Amino acid sequence: MAQITLKNLAHSYKPNATADADFALKEMDHVWQDGGAYALLGSSGCGKSTLLNIISGLLRPSHGRVLFGDRDVTDAATAERNIAQVFQFPVVYDTMTVRDNLAFPLRNRGMEPDYIKARVNQIAAMIGMEEILNRKARGLTADAKQKISLGRGMVREDVNAILFDEPLTVIDPHMKFELRTQLKTLHREFGHTMIYVTHDQTEALTFADKVVVMYDGRVVQMGTPQELFERPGHSFVGYFIGSPGMNFFDATVAGHTATVLGETLALGASYAPPKGRVQIGIRPEFCVLGRSGGLPFSIRRVEDVGRHRIIRGTVAGANVNVTLPEGMEIDADANRVLFAPEKINVYADDWRVSPEGEEN
Ligand SMILES: Nc1ncnc2c1ncn2[C@@H]1O[C@H](COP(=O)(O)OP(=O)(O)OP(=O)(O)O)[C@@H](O)[C@H]1O
C-alpha cells in the first residue's frame, strides 16, 4: 500500500490547451494518505472520473506527476500500479462462473489454491453470493453482475488502492446501503486506501472519513463530513452539501459585524474586511424565525420531510430556507429570520475567509 501524491497535476483533453477553460482538471497538488477512506464528490462533469483514471493509469495527465510512495508512476501502465478499479457498469466474464470471476485476479497472480478458495468464499459472503458461486455470470441481472465486479475489485489484499467510480449506480436501493456498509467494514479490516467517486452526498458522507469535493475541475475542499457541514471552504460546498444547502447573502463585513440589506448582524468571530464579492453563509439548521432582529422574512411554504420541517421563504425576494426541528411550532406571525452568530461563515469571491485567530 502507498500514499498517493499528485504534484502540479492538470489535464486537458485538447491538444495545445492554454486557457483555464480548456482543462478538465485545473492544476492541483493533493495527497491521498495511505489507508484513507475517501469520497470524491462533485456534480456531473467536474472531473472526478478524469482524476480517477489518472490515478489508475488509464489516462496520462497532460501536466504534472503521480507518485505512489516515493515512486513516480506517471508513465507506468495500469498493471504496474497494483490498483483495483470498479466501474459504474459491470465488467464480468459472462462465460465464467461467479467463483471464477471472483478468483480471476488471485489466479492471475499465482496465489495458492487454498488461499483463493477461502478468500473467494469470504468475498462471496460479503456480496451475498455464496449460493450462486457455481453459476455462470451470463444471464445474471445487472445488479448481480455489478456485485461480482465489486467483489472482484476487493478480492486482492495486496493492492495499493481500490478505486470505485460510482459503483452503486445499477444496484437496487435497498442493497446500496448494505454494500456501502460492507465496504466500510472491509476498509476497517484491511486498511486499503479507497477512493470512492460519487455525485451523491449521502453516499459520500456515509462511506468516507474524508470527503474531497470537486467543482469545475478543482478540489475545493477536503474535510470530514462535519468540517464540510460546519465550515464549507467554498460556496459550492455550502450549496452542494446539506439538504437544503446553505443560505448566502451579499454583505459587508468588518470586525464582529456583517451588514446585510442595511441591517446589522452579529458574527461569532472577528474579521479583517475581506476583498472581492463578500457574502455570509448560514445553514438552514442554524436559522430561527422571530418577530424582531435578523432580516425581514416572508414564509412561502412549509415542507414536512419526516423528522423535521423546512420553511421555504424569501428575504428581499431571494430564496431562504429554515429548518424547523421536530416538535417546534411555527409562529404564524413571525416575519424575521435570525442567525446563530457563531454558525455564520464569511466568503470572499466564493472562498471561505478565516476569522482572526482561527488555526488552519
Ligand atoms: N475522453 C474525453 N474527451 C474529451 N473530453 C472529455 C473526455 N472525458 C471527459 N471529458 C470532459 O472532461 C470534463 C470532466 O469529465 P469527467 O468525466 O472527468 O467528469 P465527472 O465528474 O466524472 O462526470 P460524471 O459524474 O458525469 O461522470 C467534462 O467536461 C467532460 O465533458
Which residue's CA is the nearest one to ligand 1's atom 2? 13
Handedness of CA 36, 41, 44, 47 (dihedral sign): negative
Q: Is 90 in the pocket of ligand 1 (CB under 6 A)?
A: no
- Digit-coded pLDDT (tens) for 41-97: 999 999 999 999 999 999 999 999 999 999 999 999 988 898 999 998 888 999 999
The best mutation among 9, 13, 213 to test binding of ligand 1, ranked by most ligand atoms within 8 Å of the C-beta, falls on: 13
Q: Is residue 27 in a domain? A: yes
The best mutation among 22, 40, 46 to test binding of ligand 1, ranked by most ligand atoms within 8 Å of the C-beta, falls on: 46
Q: Is 53 in the pocket of ligand 1 (CB under 6 A)?
A: no
3-state percent breakdown (helix, strand, coil) of the chain, nearest 5: 30, 35, 40
Supply the pLDDT for residue 278: 98
Tell me the three cell numbers of residue 52: 480517477
The best mutation among 14, 26, 43, 48 to test binding of ligand 1, ranked by most ligand atoms within 8 Å of the C-beta, falls on: 48
Q: Is 50 in the pocket of ligand 1 (CB under 6 A)?
A: yes
Q: Do residues 14 and 89 both lie within one domain?
A: yes
Q: Do residues 119 and 259 both lie within one domain?
A: no
Q: Do residues 26 and 82 both lie within one domain?
A: yes
Cα(25) to centroid(ligand 1), Å? 10
- Digit-coded pLDDT (tens) for 116-128: 999 999 999 988 8
Q: Is 11 in the pocket of ligand 1 (CB under 6 A)?
A: no
Place of cell 495511505: 34
φ, ψ at 29 (rounded to 5°): -120, 130
Last-in-domain residue among 184, 219, 239: 239
Q: Is residue 360 in a domain? A: no
Q: Do residues 328 and 208 both lie within one domain?
A: no
Whether 1 shows a pLDDT value over 70: the answer reads no
Strand partners, 163: 85, 195
In the predicted model, what is the mean pLDDT of residues 3-10?
95
Q: Do residues 176 and 320 both lie within one domain?
A: no
Whole-angstrom CA distances from 236 to 7, 297, 307 are: 24, 24, 26
Domain housing 300:
245-353
What CATH number is associated with residue 213? Answer: 3.40.50.300
Q: Is 44 in the pocket of ligand 1 (CB under 6 A)?
A: yes
Q: Is 281 in the pocket of ligand 1 (CB under 6 A)?
A: no
- Digit-coded pLDDT (tens) for 82-112: 899 999 888 899 999 999 999 999 999 899 9
Last-in-domain residue among 192, 221, 239: 239
Supply the pLDDT for residue 282: 98
Q: Work out the percent of the chain whose per-residue pLDDT is above 70.
A: 99
- Ligand 1 nearest atom to the CA of residue 217, by list position: 14
Whether 360 shows a pLDDT value over 70: the answer reads no
CA distance 288 to 271: 24
The pTM assigned to this predicted structure is: 0.89
Cα(201) to centroid(ligand 1), Å? 19
The residues near 243 (Cβ < 8 Å, ≥ 6 apart) are: 201
**Total tally of structural domains belonging to the chain:** 2
- Ligand 1 nearest atom to the CA of residue 13, by list position: 4
Q: Is 59 in the pocket of ligand 1 (CB under 6 A)?
A: no
- Ligand 1 nearest atom to the CA of residue 53, by list position: 18
